[in-house]
Structures are given as structure tokens and as C-alpha cells.
Amino acid sequence: LITEGITAHAEAEDGHWSVWVREEDATDRAKQELEAFRSQPRDARYQNVERLAQERLLQEHRQREAARKNIIEPSTDWKAGAPRRIPLTRTLVAMSIIATILASTLMGRDSTLRETVAEQLSFVNYPDYLETQDPLVNIKQGEVWRLVTPAFVHADPVARGFGVFHILFNMYWLVHFGGMIEDRRGSGLLAMVALLTAIGSNVAQATFPEAIGSIQLPASLHGAVLFGGMSGVVYGLFGFVWIKSRTEPTSGLWIDPTTAVLLFGWLILCMTGVVGPVANIAHAAGLIVGILMGLVPTGRGSAES
């Protein structure tokens, strides 16, 4: 089975042998191979298969060791450098830095350029929102870029100050998770996950109500139209990698348990309101979108019990 590319192992129990096939879609082919062996166990095709299987297992072991060395720990991300093939990740980082600078008071408190950039990149033009009370008013008018562009601006939504911690936190995890996805699964997949999590988190943050039925939500869980930052996308990438690491362990996407605890803990802490105004709905929505996308099978090493 191993020489035919079917991952399997055998276990002895009560005088019998059980053969376990890892991938469900290979089960039928494995049964066919078993019947063929039973009918002609001395066929020439079975000569030297043990040696061939050992060579294949050794090769796979070497590949796993090489892949393990390429795993990037959060504590060494910046020291070791980003993965080599991450042009989209680097572009997203550059766009975030440029947009944040242009939309912040670093351009001058009375800068016309700053006001124009901040207004055009926000989810909604605030005067239009005040007039209509519709957070989607500008998007309905065809300004669809607003579904995504708030993710690039890490400036205070009111004072437009430069959010240093905000952008450093988000860019660190963007390089970590985004770089991992792009380097191992391609720029196209990263673009899809980033785009859908940006749209999902931004729309949720702007439209989420202050109450559900008769239940009044705490202020930390209210939606708001004045927000910005890549946090929703970061949590989406995190959710995607987290799920893929569990459902497709050979996908090349992996997350350290400590990192998962840290990010889930930060999400919960922010929701309590003790760290100040945070776009918690964007975080949660991005995480949910990322998890849902991660649950879609891609055919690379899905785990079957």
C-alpha cells in the first residue's frame, strides 16, 4: 500500500491484523489492492516491496524533518526572517503602513490629504452616516472598496493618531500567518482568505446591533462605523491556519498551542472592555469566517479517524 501511495499502518490484535488507511478516499483502492494480493500473493509485483516501502518511508521522514525546520515560531518570526515567497504578504504590510501614515496626524493635523485619505478609506463617510443612519450608504452608491479598505488604516478613528501598538501587533501576525499561508499554499489562497475575512469582519463591525431582541449587549460588543485595522483579517488567518492544522495536518499549516491560547485569550480579554475601545465584532467575525473557510477541504492530507 505504501508503494502505491496509500498511507496505512497495520496493528496486530487477538491473532489478527487490522490495516488502517489514513485517507478515507483511498479506502476503496486499498481494498482492491488487498483482494489482488490475496488472489495472487506470489505475483512479481510484490517482490522487493518491503525494501521499496522502507525507502519511501525514509524519504517521507526526511521531508517531514525538512518541513519541521521551516516552521516559524512566533518568538523568532522577526529574527529568522519571513518566508521567501511572500510578495502579497509584504504588499499588504506596505499598504497598511502607507495608509496609516497618510490617514494619521503624522501628515499634519490640518492636512487636506489626511482628511481625504481617511474619509475615502473608512467604511462610510461619517456625515453621510449621520444623515441616513445607514452604515452601508456609500457602499450602496457603488463605493465598494470601502468593504475592504478600513483594514489598512491603523489610526485612531476619531483623533486619527498613529496607532503604533495596533499596527505592530497586526503586522507581526499578518507576516506570521499570512506568510505561512502564502509560502506553503500560494498567493491566491492568501488573497481569497484575506479578502473574505476583511469583508466579513468590516461589514459585521459596522452593522452589528447594540441589542439582540430584548437583550442589551455590553458596549464592548456594540458595532460601530468608526473603526480600522487588520485585526479582523489577522484573526481570520489565525482561524484558517488553526483549523487546517487540525483537519489537514500535512498541509504545511501549523500553529503552536501557546499561540492559539494567546490569541484566544486576547480576544476574550478585549471583549470584557478592560483594554478600551476595540473592534471586537470585527475580531470575532474574522475568526468565524477564517474557521469556516478552513473547514472547506482542499484534498491535501485531510485527517480521517
Beta-bridge partner residues of 19:
10
305 in catalytic set: no
Separation CA 179–CA 69 (nearest Å): 16
Computed from CA positions of residues 51, 53, 57, 59, in that sequence, does the dihedral angle turn out positive or negative? Answer: positive
Q: How far is CA 20 from CA 37, 39, 55, 112, in A?
A: 17, 21, 20, 67
Instruction: Considering the candidates 122, 201, 231, 251, report the single residue annotated as catalytic.
Output: 231
| Residue 5 amino acid letter | G
Instruction: Considering the candidates 154, 166, 176, 283, report the single residue annotated as catalytic.
Output: 283
Separation CA 25–CA 218 (nearest Å): 47
Those residues with Cβ within 8 angstroms of residue 81's Cβ, 6 or more apart along the chain or in another chain: none
231 in catalytic set: yes
Query: Cell numbers of 279, please?
Result: 473592534
* SS3 (DSSP) at 135: coil
Place of cell 506596505: 94
* SS3 (DSSP) at 5: coil
Catalytic residue positions?
231, 283
